[in-house]
Copies of this chain bind each other. A is one copy, B any other.
Amino acid sequence: MTHAPIPGYHYDDPARPASPVSTGELEQLAAATLFTDADAAALKVAGEVLADQVEQILDVWYGFVGSHGHLLAYFSTPEGTPIGEYLGAVRRRFGQWITDTCTRPYDARWLAQQEEIALRHTAERKNATDGARSVPHVPLRYLIAFIHPITATMRPFLAAKGHPEAEVEAMHQAWFKAVTLQVALWSRPYANAAW
């Protein structure tokens, strides 16, 4: 399948700078979330299960953000007006992230992408990709808080293709670990030396 390129998405750009996080640090962090090869395998299946449901998942997540003024604020102007173009541009990359989380190997290139996503939530790089006139950063506490909704809301989508309950549960646990692992990586530029 060929897709139109997604503006601002440069996963496969060989010129992308390496993450300051080493693959050794990633391994130790993954162990702390209990992530194993079995989870990587379960995510592969999840990638197939979710492939044609991405837009519906994004509808749920955008509905959640859109219904909370204090969250929608991060996609809005400093005066509080939601920026439709910004919401739309991020949405495409967010959809691709679901696929990447399930299908990409968690290697040095994946780490480089995690660092980029991290920085795009911070004052260093938020708004730059889309030229958005929005508030300067997403507070770290909300990134961590979202581990719950981004995990919990995924279960019905993982169950939607009729897989046996045990397999759905394995996919869901793998997804939970993958989200936790990524938010832990994204906290790096917020905590610097204490990361």
Contacts and interface: CB of A to CB of B under 8 A. Distances in A.
Interface in A146-195: 146-149, 151-152, 173, 176-177, 180-181, 183-185, 187-188, 190-191, 194-195
A195 B28 contact: no
Interface stretch (A1-9, A49-57, A90-98, A136-144): A136-144
Contacts of A33: 145-146, 148-149
A34 B150 CA distance: 11
A19 B10 CA distance: 41
Nearest to A183: B144
Given A122-B194, A140-B187, A194-B139, A180 B148 contact: yes
A45 interface: no
Interface of A: 28-29, 31-34, 68, 70-71, 122-123, 137, 139-142, 144-149, 151-152, 173, 176-177, 180-181, 183-185, 187-188, 190-191, 194-195
Q: How many copies does the complex hold?
A: 2
A144 B190 contact: no
Contact of A187 (B70, B137, B144, B146): B144
Contact of A145 (B123, B139, B181): B181
A68 B31 contact: yes
A82 to B, nearest CB: 17
Contacts of A139: 191, 194-195
Contact of A190 (B28, B29, B146, B190): B190
Contacts of A137: 194
Contact of A144 (B71, B149, B180): B180
27 contacts: A29-B145, A31-B70, A32-B68, A32-B71, A32-B146, A33-B148, A33-B149, A34-B152, A122-B194, A139-B195, A140-B187, A140-B190, A140-B194, A141-B188, A142-B184, A144-B144, A144-B184, A144-B187, A145-B184, A147-B147, A147-B180, A148-B177, A151-B176, A190-B190, A190-B191, A190-B194, A191-B191
